[in-house]
Chain A
Amino acid sequence: MARIIVVTSGKGGVGKTTTSAAFSTGLAKAGHKTVVIDFDVGLRNLDLIMGCERRVVYDFVNVINGEANLGQTLIKDKRIDNLFILPASQTRDKDALTLEGVGKVLEELSQEFDYIVCDSPAGIERGALLAAYYADEAIVVTNPEVSSVRDSDRVLGILSSKTRRAEKGEEPIKEHLLLTRYSPARVQKGEMLSVEDVGEILAIDLLGVIPESKSVLNASNAGVPVILDQQSDAGQAYEDAVARFLGEQRPHRFLSEKKGFLGRLFGS
């Protein structure tokens, strides 16, 4: 049976898709058979970030409607063994997904895979709820600013009340905080909340802090998940986060400003 992980946030544009791509790649690289599903029907972009947009034939909605089977629809990643992508439909609207249909597809994938990563759409409406409903674990992607933290808090409330585990009275969804687009320099200037501030408000386990980094945009333009850019700070931070998710203890890095050569020279 697979573990189902939802990557969610409430607020849009905080880094869910970037995280879904990095995480699924990292899990597969660690030897776990992983599928990543794009739940953002109508706005698909996971396939772009994974660099497989030119190989999409069928999509998630086709599978739910019985127009294609999973074997025809799953796209095998070219770089990493064990990694598959289930793309979203670009042409349908979000009502094409049903709770029952999603449940069936996840059930079938569960037989095959170790991890199912669900890339949630923004918001707290139906689409986001469908992505989270069957989850065993949640990665709550949050930016260090008040509105993002507030939305994450709201999502945490939904995870603990409106999901399958909550409705069945089972053990609650395991919640992880991933703080992304973190800029220590801006935290220092008081323009952003610090890790401590966010941690104190949300009060859940901190899985990782991903720094604000140009490498993320470069990676997504190239269609390569940033975790594969091992030179980059964001890539390394994602790698740490995946390792922690898999039970390893690793210290948090990238929490303070790195000093450039001149900075060090002048002791500033």
Chain B
Amino acid sequence: MLTLSVLHLLSSDMDRLAAHLDAKLASAPEFFRGLPVLIDFEVMAGQAVDMAALKDMLVARKLMPVGVRGVDEAQRAAAEEVGLGLLAGGSPIARREEPSQSTKPAAGAAMIVRHPVRSGQQVYARGGDLVVLSSVSPGAEVLADGHVHVYGPLRGRALAGVQGDTEARIFCQSLNAELIAIAGNYRVSEHIREEERGHPVQIFLDGDSLRIETL
């Protein structure tokens, strides 16, 4: 189990940051490829950060910045400008308002994909669930802020609750994933047990450990 998705920003100097990251990424480039990251600004209060440059720098390194936390007002506005949402939790400022009526996404909030998700492709259901009616190939990646359902074989990477929703789950007909993750808690293929492989399962968080349960 790994939780590597939070990037604690300690400096606004992009060159230093880039050098630092490159050193880190070099240790396991394949693992970090396409990894969704949450950028933590806790110690950066009051400092101006070039959000666009920061985002580009991460994207250029094949990371996927998905949100920010611990931002001040100015940083928050700048983050929104470049499409990075604020994540509740660990934030010194007001939490983002949760939808008060219900925690269920409104009908129609789920994204439905009917075709196979092929190697090299990425599908992200922002703000809701993702339903894949076909297969997810090795080298493909499916992500959702909510649940992920895969009705064909799941052979690629599946990440649910990528904005930090610990209630999110992954449901699949046949588990053969390269990586599964819920709210930043990861398990790679090597650590998926034989008896869970190829079976219909659901995957959810139990405290902070990932559980795989056959259906």
* Residues on A facing B (Cβ under 8 Å): 124, 150-151, 153-154, 156-158, 160-161, 200-201, 203
Report yes or no: B137 in contact with A153, Cβ–Cβ below 8 A. yes
**Chain A residues whose C-beta falls within 8 Å of the C-beta of B155 in the assembled complex:** 201
A150 CA / B156 CA spacing, docked (Å) = 12
Report chain A residues within 8 Å CB of B118. Answer: 153-154, 156-157, 160
**B99 interface residue per 8 A CB criterion:** no
Task: Name the residue among B118, B135, B138, B155 with the largest chain A CB count within 10 angstroms.
Answer: B118
Question: Is B139 in contact with chain A by the CB < 8 A criterion?
Answer: yes
Assuming the contacts A154-B120, A161-B121, asked whether A203 and B135 have C-beta atoms less than 8 A apart, the reply is yes
CB-CB contacts below 8 Å: B105-150 with A: 115-121, 134-135, 137-140
Report yes or no: B139 in contact with A203, Cβ–Cβ below 8 A: no
Instruction: Report whether A154 and B116 are in contact in the complex, using a CB–CB cutoff of 8 Å.
Output: no
Contact check, B139 vs A156: say whether CB atoms are below 8 A apart: no
User: What's the nearest-Cβ distance from chain B to residue A132, in Å?
Assistant: 14
Which of A124, A150, A158, A203 makes the CB contact (< 8 A) with B116? A203
Most buried by A among B117, B137, B140: B137
Task: Digitize B166-201: 1 where CB-to-A-CB distance is under 8 Å, 0 elsewhere.
Answer: 000000000000000000000000000000000000
Can you list 11 contacts pairing A with B, beta carbon distance less than 8 Å?
A: A124-B120, A151-B119, A153-B137, A153-B138, A154-B119, A154-B139, A157-B117, A157-B140, A160-B115, A201-B137, A203-B152
- Residues on B with beta carbons closer than 8 Å to the beta carbon of A160: 115, 118
In the complex, what residues of A have CB within 8 A of residue B152's CB?
Answer: 203
Q: Measuring CB to CB, which residues of chain B are less than 8 angstroms from any residue of chain A?
A: 115-121, 134-135, 137-140, 152-153, 155
Instruction: Look across to chain A and name the residue whose beta carbon is closest to the beta carbon of B155.
Output: A201
Other-chain contact of A157, B119, B134, B153 (Cβ < 8 Å): B119
Nearest residue, chain A, Cβ from B135? A203
In the bound complex, do residue B119 and residue A150 qualify as a contact, i.e. CB atoms below 8 Å apart?
yes
Report A-chain residues with C-beta under 8 Å of the C-beta of B153. Answer: 200
A165 to chain B, nearest CB (A): 13
Assembled-state Cα–Cα distance A150/B121 (Å): 12
Instruction: Find out whether the CB atom of A150 lies under 8 angstroms from the CB atom of B135.
Output: no
A157–B119 Cα distance when bound, in Å, is 7
Which residue of chain A is the closest to B153 with respect to CB atoms?
Answer: A200
Q: In the complex, A197→B158 CA distance in Å?
A: 22
Chain B residues with Cβ below 8 Å from A151 are 119
The distance from the CB of A212 to the nearest CB of chain B, in whole angstroms, is 25
Nearest neighbor of B116 in chain A, beta-carbon distance: A203
B67, chain A: closest CB distance, angstroms: 26
Beyond A150-B138, A153-B137, A160-B118, 4 additional pairs, beta carbon < 8 A: A150-B119, A153-B139, A154-B120, A157-B137
Which 4 A-B pairs give the minimum distances between C-beta atoms?
A157-B118, A153-B119, A154-B119, A157-B121
A134–B21 alpha-carbon span in the complex (Å): 41
The complex places the Cα of A200 from the Cα of B134 at a distance, in Å, of: 12
B134 to chain A, nearest CB (A): 8
A160 → chain B closest CB, angstroms: 6
- Least distance between A256 CB and chain B CB atoms (Å): 26
Q: Which of B116, B138, B140 has the most CB of A within 10 A?
A: B116
| Cα separation A253 to B66 with both chains bound (whole Å) | 51
Which residues of A lie under 8 Å from residue B120 when comparing CB positions? 124, 154, 157-158
Give the distance to chain B from A10, nearest Cβ to Cβ, in Å.
Answer: 9
Residues of chain B within 8 A of A153, CB atoms compared? 118-119, 137-139
For the complex formed, measure the closest distance between the CB of B54 and the CB atoms of chain A, giving whole angstroms: 28
Taking CB atoms, residues of chain A closer than 8 Å to B119 are 150-151, 153-154, 157
CB closest chain-A residue, reference B115? A160
How far is it, in angstroms, between the C-alpha of A160 and the C-alpha of B115 when the chains are bound? 9
Residue of A nearest to B137 (CB): A153
**Chain A residues within 8 Å of B115, by CB:** 160
Kindly state the separation between the CA atoms of A260 and B30 in the bound complex, as whole angstroms: 47
Distance A150 CA – B140 CA, assembled complex (angstroms): 10
Compute how far the CA of A157 lies from the CA of B117 in the bound complex, rounded to whole angstroms: 7
Residue of B nearest to A150 (CB): B119
